[in-house]
Amino acid sequence: MVEAEPRPRRRRWLTPRLQRAAQLVLAILVLLALAAAIIGTLVAGHRPPIPPHGGPVTIPTRMVSPTTGWAEVALSEIWRTTDAGANWTEVDPPSLPDRRPQFWGPSEDAAFFLDARHAWVVETGMSGPGASGLYVSVFATDDGGRHWGKGQPITLDSPSGMSPVLYFIDARHGWLLMSDTNQDDIEGSPILYATSDGGLNWRLISTRSAPLHAWCGPASIMFATVDLGWLVPGCGESNPVLLVTRDGGVTWRAQRPQPTATPDGVFDAPVFFSPTDGMVFFHTLQLLLLVTSDGGLTWSPRSLPEINPMSVSFADATRGWAIGTHVRKSLPDSVNPPADESLYHTDDGGLSWAVVPTELRQWTQDYFVDAVDFVDQKNGFASASDPPGQKLLWLKTSDGGRTWAVVRTT
């Protein structure tokens, strides 16, 4: 048997002219890649990723899924988690630190977190050298904080005013609320801007249409649709009201959802799960829950477990949870434990409540539950602290509150 000789391997050579051409093409490609990287960094506001770690976050500002959440720390840092809060990555825009609201009081509403990808945060600064006014800009990200874009600045005539408040209903439509005040005024008026391009450009919607007390200003704002929105005055006063708009914020009118005989108190911002289904909490001697199924035209009170105080969280219009919380007094080691540490659940929008068989009690011997927050019908979180308030627990459930696991301790 004669073995066939192996074929010689063909070698391909480039002529000197072709070699020079190939080198030129390669050099051009390298330069283009470097330019694209530099331009992308400058325009998009990209910062090198920071490895996730515990970070300074104690309690997330908002969990948007069973694993992903955002936190605003010290009014200058934005952090993000993808493992339910165990580890955090700093993702704030590179130019943001030390440029957050400096003339206004602290406000968690100066940042807004819509979902796992979309977030917005306010930056402020002086309008120019020697200027007495301010500018306000809004940073936006659509990739979880890897890149940020900066919107057109809004110039304000006076540095006096209240903290800006952001609210978005989707990736494009949002509102920016500020208060037109100065130290000589007794009253202030909300100034409302709107965007329909994700925060790149803002247009003035309304001003001086709903007078409020100057030193409290508007506390919060929310929109259920591009037309239907609610504004909560920041001061508790006699006969408290909500302000409602049905034309996107151009005009507002007062509404009193609570029953006539209800004592004075303070409203939270309404929460809507659809254009028609929503609820609002009213804080008085007892926490009051009011629900609507017609877009806020009418409101009806619903029952809550007979515990006070409590933390309540609804994942949708029907499924909610409530748990008794403690009252921390002025002394750091002096607290009133809740009379009832049971976890309650409703699946009919608050018409009825039932106790959840839960192992959460195993932590209440040394810790008091401060709040519960459910992102869907199965997945929720709880924060707890020891009586001195020096140690914190962050817990997670994935079965509607029956079993819990510690995600993080601080």
Taking alpha carbons only, the member of 141, 187, 142 closest to residue 162 is 187
Q: What's the pLDDT score for residue 3?
A: 38
Note whether residue 35 is domain-resident: no
Taking alpha carbons only, the member of 254, 267, 159, 282 closest to residue 219 is 267
Note whether residue 142 is domain-resident: yes
Note whether residue 29 is domain-resident: no
At 24, the amino acid letter reads L
The pTM (predicted TM-score) of the whole model is: 0.80
CA dist., res. 162 & res. 159, Å (int) = 10
Query: For residue 251, what are the domain limits?
Result: 197-302
Q: Which residues, given as ranges, of the chain have pLDDT below 70?
A: 1-58, 75-76, 95-109, 126-133, 157-162, 180-189, 208-218, 234-238, 326-339
CA dist., res. 269 & res. 231, Å (int) = 7
Mark whether 72 and 114 lie in a shared domain: yes
Residue 172, beta-bridge partner list? none
Query: Which are the contacts of 121, defined by CB distance < 8 A and separation ≥ 6?
Result: 72, 78, 92, 93, 96, 110, 111, 112, 138, 139, 166
Q: Give the length of the chain.
A: 410
- Is 332 in contact with 388 (CB distance < 8 Å)? yes
Strand, helix or coil at 135? strand
Note whether residue 166 is domain-resident: no
Domain boundary among 270, 302, 334: 302
Mark whether 297 and 309 lie in a shared domain: no
Mark whether 258 and 320 lie in a shared domain: no
Q: CB 398: neighbour CB atoms within 10 A? A: 15
Q: What's the pLDDT score for residue 38?
A: 34
CA dist., res. 314 & res. 90, Å (int) = 29
Domain boundary among 246, 271, 302: 302
Q: How far is CA 343 from CA 324, 347, 375, in A?
A: 8, 14, 16
Mark whether 146 and 244 lie in a shared domain: no
Mark whether 271 and 337 lie in a shared domain: no
Number of structural domains (the chain) is 3
Q: How far is CA 19 from CA 9, 13, 14, 29, 32, in A?
A: 21, 9, 6, 15, 20
